[in-house]
Amino acid sequence: GQSLEQPSEVTAVEGAIVQINCTYQTSGFYGLSWYQQHDGGAPTFLSYNGLDGLEETGRFSSFLSRSDSYGYLLLQELQMKDSASYFCAVRRNSGNTPLVFGKGTRLSVIA
């Protein structure tokens, strides 16, 4: 089977840094993606790691360790608008096959 584990909820203070972890067990692994979803909105792509290491995109960074089947999303200088759900998703092969999503982490940013 396929399973991705991430915390269900995280609360952090505006301006702080928060890390959302994701561990995975899937049949096949090619890369790890992160998506953001605001309430009532569509998931939007944030980041992708195909190789081990850190990828940085502005205030957001994502990390992957294939040997540990583990990745994380790091959000810096948190803003109120970052309050949303964050999903990790595994790409299982190099083709266009569907992503396998985690259940999501609901991030609440408080003043």
Q: Contact between 3 and another protein (CB under 8 A)? A: no
Q: How far apart are CA 61 and CA 19, in angstroms?
A: 9
Residue in this structure with the two tokens 């081990």, named with its chain if needed? 52
Q: How far apart are CA 101 and CA 81, in angstroms?
A: 23
The nearest distance, CB 41 to another protein, in angstroms, is 7
Answer positive or negative: Cα dihedral of 75, 80, 82, 85.
positive
Q: Contact between 104 and another protein (CB under 8 A)? A: yes
Q: Contact between 41 and another protein (CB under 8 A)? A: yes
**Binds another protein by CB under 8 A, chosen from 29, 48, 60, 70:** 48
**In the complex, which residues of this chain contact another protein (CB under 8 A)?**
4, 31, 33, 41-45, 48, 50, 87, 89, 91, 94-104
